[in-house]
Chains A and B, each alone.
Chain A
Amino acid sequence: MVNLDNSNETVFYIPFEGSDEEQPEIGPEKSELDALDGQKMRWDAYKTSWVKCLNRVQALVHTLYEPVVKEVVEKIEIAYDCDPEILSALPYPELPVIAVTNPSTDSLFLSSVISKLSDENQHIVAHLYPSDCSNISNAMKSIISGFTSISGAFKGSSRSLASYDIGVLESWYQAQDVPPSKLVLLLHDFEQFDPGVIQDVIHVCSLNVPRIPLIFLVSLSSSQSPSSYFHTAYPRSTLKQLQLKSVVVPGGPQVFEDIILKTFVDLSFDPDVVLGPATLEHLTEYAARFNHSVDALLNIFQLAHFKHFLLNPLTALVQSTPSAIALEDTASSTFCDILMTRLNDSMELDSDTENQNNTKTIPVLDMPKIIDGERNKFRSRVREMRLSYRLLRLIHEFLLARGYKGLGPHWGGSPSTLNATPLPTSTAYPRLQIFIDLLQRDSSENSQASKDIRYARILLAKLKPEELRAFLDDLIQYLLGLPDEVFDELDISDVVGVLGKWLEEADAAYTVDEDESNDVAVKKLAERLAKWISEYLRTLTNSLEEASPLWDVWYTGMAPFPSETVNPSVRASVLAGLLRPTEFTEANDVDGTGSKPNADEDDDSLWRLPDTSILFHRYLESGKMINVYDWFESFHAVLGLQRREEAKEKEKKSSPNTRKGRGKSTSPKKRRTALKSPVKLNSKGKAREVTQEDEDAAEGSKDDGFADDEKWKLVVQARFIRALHELDFLGFVKHTRRKPDHVLRTVFEVSE
């Protein structure tokens, strides 16, 4: 076995000693509530649902990127095929540079470009990272070896050129049996390159084109137009050597929102697990504040799935139901019991008090069927929810198109004004926010979604006859265009029937000569339609949590997203660990069952804390600069108190009745002195006084010998140095040479 505690070694290797065939058991922790093989079922269910979601998002992103990928590849293809007549006017050939702006900074786009280039077009792609380019010779070396290492065969011992000489690349290129048509150099994170180095690289390379068909593919992430970065960072002397073309990859908040909506709000795709408002809200906030790349989005989706399946044993039922035999097994008895209670409860609620007597109504054999039924029921409820979003959007867009205001500013303006003025909403993702509102609609009528539905009703009731006809027409067309399964499942044909009848009525009223009575009829019709729509929307948006007794299998609801796993507050955690270490202990977790000697006493007293915490408390009380000596003295005072208190406690334990009075009389005063901040101990006299007092007290109460006192001093100093070094290690201390033996504070958190 390797001794990992050997302080002379810095790295240890623990070889794997099993056989290659055996695979470690992977799966979530076994829960008591799991069914037979529940662990594995949950894990499999997780894999399936996550892969489904992942594939959907990736497919969406691919469709989004495809035209741009094509554009980039085309630009590379034609890079040196320009009209010779245009080029002939130039005194020297230009180096083709294709600048790609990819605001979402994920590798998906570039990797699809590269695979297209190297697979279909037989170009060679080399990569250059900012860290390779500390100076020109390193940069050239990386570029040359990037190309030459691909073929592998180029290793002449007779090579006399320096490894950074571009001549190496040229001779390598000429030595190829089938020379690649283009050499594409991909520069990652271009903004991070040193422009001075890159200027030289460009100069060297441009001298050698088109003998070496080099093309620079530059990846930028700044959101303004790619060429403007070149124009600000590089002088004209460099720019004149370039033939700059720019491509912008779609990205940014709108695209991000589109992807989410097409994954979770689209009627043509059913995710296995529906994310609840809590997760979606966290997602919008995270994206708006930190990062709206596709990678970040996928990470959050994956973690939400991961957590959902990890914590809830019932999630084994997400896609499939175990057979009745598996459910009857004794191993799944607890699992079955939960299911039974859940299903029974809801049945009792449904049928009120009719069959109260038979508590255990469902036989296990029927269970799979019931669960399958619940699954279908829930799926159709989710579809209804999404349909409601689509219908409201349809209403809004119809109203906008007719020149009305629509359902309000949070629904977005008309397409023509959309780009001109920024949305007057507080959230960066207004469309997603509406869906979140719909998910959260409750019966209280005060939620945003309820208000929207009410408002839609008012507006629809005021439609003019001709508009009413057009609206009904639009609505029917939209409903008829729904995917077949949705159409069948949600009984849309009935809805279309009703709407069709109204459309006929509206037609009739409109075609007959204009008449008072017709106007009234149309008005009534509009009111009827508005009322019907608002009621229909209300049914569609009933809370998903009430959709099924097993709703939490397919829906994450209000379960919070584990945001600290992607966006931790490291600083706050370290500070909490130092300021309130007791909060992290088990005793604090299990309502203090006497694991501490004095649970009844004031546990917050400073002297009970570990040394580093004591020192840190003192640190927070000081000014921006700390005199190490005074810091030490204040620490010393607390340790003195700690020593006396501990001795007292020991005494109390051994003889509970003796020397009680003395302890009482000294303790409060001493505590006060000891808790004085180091700032107050600043003047030398005072500091002396306190320590003197301390030492006297220590000597008096303990009657220790001379040597013991000396030893104590050493221990205090050692403990101080150790705590100081720990704080230094954690980054709380900055050393300064401004004043001897002073340190600077780096953290200014308030201790409360």
Chain B
Amino acid sequence: MSDSESSASNLSHERYVSEDEQPSSPSKKTQKQRVVGQHREMIVQTAFDAYFTHISSRAQTSSNVFSALIPPLSAEEYHEASSSFGPLSLKSKILTSESTRISLFRRMFLEMQEGFNVMCYGYGSKRTMLNEFAVNTCSKAGHVVVANAFQPHFGLKELLACIEKVPGIDSLPLPSSSMENQSRRICEFFSRPTQKRHLYLVIHNIDSPPLRLSRAQTCLSLLALHPKIHLVASIDHINSPLLWSSAELSARKGNQVEDIELSGRGFAWLWHDLTTLAPYDFELAHADRSSISGAWGSGHKRDAATHNGATMVSETAAQHILASVTAKAKKLFALMAEKQLEAIASSTNAGPADDLQQYAVGYDTLYHSARNDFIATNDTALRALLGEFRDHALVIGAQQGSSGEVLWIPMRKERLAKVLSTLKVLE
């Protein structure tokens, strides 16, 4: 679909041709120089070249491991940090100029009346824009169904069920509850000459994994070519135009449909660049911010590298746990926290490696200190106290070489200090 690659090579070709046609310069020397210059300019690196250069070379990267060096963000931490992101610094014209927006909406609406479906692409979240279009324009002309297909638990079945909320559809017989039959019934309903109102389907991210399935595409293509059903959709993935064949892209809606089967299948998209530059915060609200591969929902397996699946414990979580344990357990926690803070403070290697395991306290050391402070008189008692914390992942243990088990609290130092101070106040 994209012409960018070929256009790049065309560009270089054109440049070459146009310079060739230039009249020759007076002196031979300058002419030669020019030729050299021409050739240098003629070689314009294209995306193909870049690809082959990269693929032919060996990938040399450092051995730093992100998740080992930087503890993952907890949801609370991310939320806290996101409050300081500040407002959107750049807004595209379509967001700032109302007149541009209105005329674009008007044009899109006209195109839909003329038998096309509208597809929006471009960088930036288009959700608010399309919702505005749905509410302000489409809802005045007919029934509107808006689908957030980017959500991980979205399925076409839900979309079809929602369309069936249009009064009257469920009065038609449904041979079986398969998606194909459902979409066929919807088409039948809208084909009735008495049905004056059209249906406007707004699908955010029609390129989302659940809608990429061929079964979902079949149902959508049936709906999309119905003259009384209009689709407005958005895509974000750069390769999503590959979803459809040329025949599907150029299929046309009939003027009236006597038989659904006669109408053919396809999408009849007209494309609009709707670059908003807005962040995808809503689309990625479900993303697992603690993992670098969390953008595609929880379906992906966590990276094995995030230690034992341990995530950082937030302040409130720690306080909840501490509120429900015995005084002795609290003491033990305070002891561990102090030791950990000491270790952090005394460490000279304050680099970015916030790996908390290096500040862990050995089980034996802890046992001795605990016995001295009369927290636990024997090993069993200490293990019982620790058990409570381990169950809630407030204390993490790991075997470390010959020194036996080490234990640490998965909290950043400032958080830990805060929790510790509240503990002391309570005492």
Q: Which residues of A contact B (CB under 8 A)?
A: 2, 4-5, 7, 9-16, 18, 20, 24, 26-29, 105-107, 110-111, 114-115, 125, 127, 129-132, 145, 149, 188, 221, 290-291, 293, 295-296, 298-299, 302-303, 306, 310, 564-578, 581-582, 584-586, 589, 609-610, 612, 623-630, 632-633, 682-684, 687-688, 691-692, 706-707, 710-711, 714-715, 717-719, 721-722, 724-726, 728-732, 735, 739-743, 745-750
Contact = CB atoms under 8 A, between A and B. Distances in A.
B2 interface: yes
A629 B64 contact: yes
A721 B153 contact: no
A105 B68 CA distance: 55
Contact of A114 (B89, B96, B162, B262): B262
A13 B165 contact: yes
Given A10-B154, A10-B158, A13-B143, A741 B67 contact: yes
Q: In the complex, which of the residues A106, A303, A571 has the most CB atoms of chain B within 10 Å of its own CB atom?
A: A571
Q: In the complex, which of the residues B196, B273, B292 has the most CB atoms of chain A within 10 Å of its own CB atom?
A: B292
A228 B241 CA distance: 31
B177 interface: no
Given A13-B162, A628-B292, A722 B282 contact: no
A691 B262 CA distance: 66
B90 A610 contact: yes
Contacts of A564: 271, 273
Given A18-B140, A129-B265, A302-B114, A566 B61 contact: no
B62 A687 contact: yes
Contacts of A565: 270-272
Contacts of B272: 565
A746 B237 CA distance: 12
A731 B249 CA distance: 22
Contacts of A295: 247, 250-252
Given A10-B153, A111-B263, A707-B414, 8 more contacts: A10-B154, A11-B148, A299-B268, A566-B270, A570-B271, A610-B279, A626-B61, A741-B68
B92 interface: yes
Contacts of B124: 577
Interface stretch (B15-23, B49-57, B328-336, B366-374): B49-57
B310 interface: no
A721 B7 CA distance: 33
Interface in B1-59: 1-4, 7, 45-51, 54-55, 57, 59
Contacts of A566: 249-250, 270-271
A584 B275 contact: yes
Interface stretch (B293-301, B380-388, B419-427): B293-301
A730 B123 contact: yes
A580 B84 CA distance: 24
A582 B263 CA distance: 44
Contacts of A18: 140
Nearest to B77: A714
Contact of B140 (A24, A107, A132, A731): A24
Given A13-B143, A105-B247, A684-B62, A570 B241 contact: yes
20 contacts: A5-B282, A10-B149, A15-B143, A16-B144, A114-B261, A296-B246, A570-B240, A581-B277, A610-B90, A623-B54, A624-B59, A682-B61, A687-B62, A691-B352, A707-B414, A714-B73, A722-B279, A725-B287, A728-B295, A746-B238
A601 B3 CA distance: 34
Given A568-B241, A629-B62, A11 B146 contact: yes
Contacts of A132: 180
A748 B50 contact: yes
A729 B280 contact: yes
B289 interface: yes
A581 B107 CA distance: 24
Given A568-B121, A750-B50, A111 B64 contact: no
Contact of B162 (A12, A299, A739): A12
A382 B232 CA distance: 39
A649 B2 CA distance: 41
